[in-house]
Amino acid sequence: MQRTIPKLPLLLLGFPLLLSACAASGTGNQTAPGADATPHGYVAGAQENPEPQNGLLTFDRETGASQLLSLLTDETTDAGTFGPVDAVQQDGRYALVTTQDGVKVFDTGAWTVDHGDHVHYYSSTPGPVGDITIPDAGVVAGDGSSIAVFSESGGYASIYKHQDLDARKVVESARITSTPHQGMVIPYEGHFIASTAGDGTAPGAVEVRDAGDHTVLSEQPCAGPSSHAATRVGVVLACTDGALLITEDGGQFAAEKIPYPADAAGIPPATRLEHRKGSNELSAPAGDGGVWHLNVSKRSWKYLKTPVPVAAASAVGDSKRVLALGVDGSLMTLNPSSGEVTAQAPMIAPVSAQASTLPQLRIDAGRAYLSDPAGSTVREIDYADGLRVARTFDVPAADIVLETGQ
């Protein structure tokens, strides 16, 4: 079903219904309670809702023009213009937009808080929070509580707490130091996984530091970490020779290497690990012939062959499905156990796996969202129903797409 979403005025930036199904009065915490009677899950200034307030935040990479689209109401609004965008990282309610001037913090106005046995769904008025001015900002990472921005020339990461950003204050709360390199610092369980320089400018290992910048887990080899992902087991880093899993138990941190299979010689390593938030399965393109699937719970990799080279891949996390977009524009479902292609459907025009702006796959508990930068569209796909296209959204630009509200 083709659907063209009209633009609405900028006035909607202040309109509280944005990205919200707006629960009826009494379904959420809408009035700040007294200090002695704060209900469980209360967030100052936020509306609690009975369902996820999912949406899409899309960007034009060259201009930084962005748009918010509610997946509940189809309403859209201009989310501002950021200038040329190098990268966008999502951490809960916040989008962290890296530009030549640093990192701009944007509140998407929708997020989910997972307490393990239950979840809370929140919405608030979206809008800019402030700027993080840091020299040569590189990797940005967060865990829903803290955000770390690494300065490649400075060799350190500045740490920002969500509770400060929630109060619209952009203040450095801590600093994790290293040496100048193309590194990363990843918040995890109140601590920080910090890369250390190897040969040249690339990282060669990681260690775990506390908030006082003291080492609590010594260096663990991880040559050229290219991406990372948070799972329920722990944080996974993609190294050139496999994955490195960092776990925490009772305040104690440990590291475990998950090497590639012995018969994987010659297959390029995974460099773009993607998955459904909260799941323990990851996937990434693997050269010209297939995709990698990593089951973190089982500590095992599997190479899945595809009929055509793959431009994007992500794991659903149900032990049944890995989604992969072929360079011919077709979307495939692969069974990670058998390696069988169980479904395949044409989606977009052919793409080059070496293109500077590639399509992206975003997966949630019921749908996948496939961006088409060339066509300025995003397709909503029911992956449990033979890759059926449920909706198609025409957007001003689809160079970068985030699913908000998760």
Average pLDDT in the 356-385 region?
A: 97
pLDDT for the residue 201: 86
Residue 341 C-alpha from the chain's centroid = 26
pLDDT for the residue 353: 84
Euclidean distance between CA atoms 161 and 171, whole angstroms: 8
Euclidean distance between CA atoms 80 and 63, whole angstroms: 10
Q: What is the CATH number of the domain that holds 397?
A: 2.130.10.10
pLDDT tens digits, one per residue of 161-211: 999 999 999 999 999 999 999 999 999 999 999 999 988 889 999 999 999
pLDDT tens digits, one per residue of 253-300: 999 999 999 998 899 999 999 999 989 999 999 999 999 999 999 999
pLDDT for the residue 310: 97
Q: Looking at the domain assignment, is residue 396 inside a domain?
A: yes
Q: Looking at the domain assignment, is residue 360 inside a domain?
A: yes
Euclidean distance between CA atoms 54 and 168, whole angstroms: 22
Euclidean distance between CA atoms 155 and 223, whole angstroms: 18
Reported as a pLDDT band with limits 50, 70 and 90, residue 24 is: very low
Q: Looking at the domain assignment, is residue 309 inside a domain?
A: yes
Average pLDDT, the chain: 91
Residue 70 in this model has a pLDDT that exceeds 90? yes
Q: Looking at the domain assignment, is residue 350 inside a domain?
A: yes
Reported as a pLDDT band with limits 50, 70 and 90, residue 41 is: low
The pairs formed by 298-305 with CB atoms below 8 angstroms and a separation of 24 or more are 299/245, 299/256, 299/258, 300/258, 301/242, 301/243, 301/258, 301/259, 301/260, 301/261, 301/264, 302/261, 302/336, 302/339, 303/261, 303/264, 303/267, 304/334, 304/336, 304/339, 305/339
Counting the structural domains of the chain, the total is: 1
Residue 127 in this model has a pLDDT that exceeds 50? yes
Average pLDDT in the 359-369 region?
A: 97
Range in 112-121, 134-143, 343-352, 360-369 with the lowest mean pLDDT: 112-121
Residue 251 in this model has a pLDDT that exceeds 90? yes
Helix (H, G, I), strand (E, B) or coil at 146: strand
Domain enclosing residue 376, as ranges:
268-406
pLDDT for the residue 86: 96
CB atoms within 10 A of CB 164: 17
Residue 93 in this model has a pLDDT that exceeds 70? yes
Range in 19-28, 265-274, 389-398 with the lowest mean pLDDT: 19-28
Q: Report yes or no: 258 and 229 within 8 Å, Cβ to Cβ.
A: no
